[in-house]
Structure 1
Amino acid sequence: MKAIVTAAALAAALLLPAHAAPITVQGVDVPEQIQTQGEELVRYGAGVRSKFFMKLYVGSLFSQKPGQDAEAILNSEAISAVRLNIISSMITSDRMIETIEEGFDAASGGKVAPLRERLDTFLSLFDEPVEVDDQFTMVSIPGVGVEAYKNGELLTLIEGDDFRRTLFGIWLGDQPADKKLKKAMLGQ
Structure 2
Amino acid sequence: MRILVPLLACLALLTAPPAFAAKKEGVSMPDTVEVAGQKLVLNGLGVREATVFNVNVYVAGLYLPQKVSSSMVILATDQPWRIVLSFVRDVEKDKLVDAWKEGFGHQKGDHTAGLATLNKAMVDMKEKDTMVFTYVPGTGTTVEVKGANKGTIAGADFAKALLGIWLGSHPPNEGLKKGML
Structure 1 length-normalised TM: 0.79
Q: What is the CA-CA distance between 1:88 and the residue it aligns to? A: 0.9
Aligned residue pairs: how many? 161
Q: What is the CA-CA distance between 1:68 and the residue it aligns to? A: 5.1
Q: What is the CA-CA distance between 1:74 and the residue it aligns to? A: 1.6
Partner of 1:135: 130
Q: Distance in 1 between matches of 2:107 and 2:126?
A: 26
Per-residue displacement from partner, 1:35-75 (whole Å, max 9, x unpaired)?
22222110010021111221110011000132352122122
Q: Distance in 2 between matches of 1:76 and 1:68?
A: 13
Partner of 1:123: 119
Q: Distance in 1 between matches of 2:148 and 2:34?
A: 14
- Gapped regions of structure 1 (runs ≥ 5): 1-19
Q: Distance in 2 between matches of 1:72 and 1:140?
A: 16
For the Cα contact (< 8 Å) 2:100–2:115, is it kept in 1? no
Q: What is the CA-CA distance between 1:134 and the residue it aligns to? A: 1.1
Q: Residue 67 in 1 paired to residue 68 in 2? A: yes
For the Cα contact (< 8 Å) 1:76–1:142, is it kept in 2? no
Q: What is the CA-CA distance between 1:151 and the residue it aligns to? A: 3.0
Partner of 1:95: 95
Q: What is the CA-CA distance between 1:34 and the residue it aligns to? A: 1.4
Partner of 1:105: 105
Q: Distance in 1 between matches of 2:69 and 2:145?
A: 27
Partner of 1:82: 83
For the Cα contact (< 8 Å) 1:107–1:174, is it kept in 2? no
- 2:104 is matched by which residue type in structure 1? F
- 1:34 is matched by which residue type in structure 2? V
Q: Distance in 2 between matches of 1:57 and 1:68?
A: 21
Identity of aligned residues (%): 27
| Residue range with higher mean Cα deviation, 168-177 or 147-156 | 147-156
For the Cα contact (< 8 Å) 2:59–2:85, is it kept in 1? yes
Moved runs in structure 1, 4+ residues, more than 3 A? Answer: none
Query: SS of the counterpart of 2:78?
Result: coil
> Which of the pair has more CA radius of gyration?
2
- Gapped regions of structure 2 (runs ≥ 5): 1-18
What pairs with 1:167-182 in structure 2 (closer than 5 Å)? 167-182=162-177
Give the CA RMSD over aligned residues: 1.7
What pairs with 1:6-45 in structure 2 (closer than 5 Å)? 22-45=21-44
For the Cα contact (< 8 Å) 1:41–1:64, is it kept in 2? yes
- 2:143 is matched by which residue type in structure 1? A
Partner of 1:11: none
Q: Distance in 2 between matches of 1:21 and 1:84?
A: 16
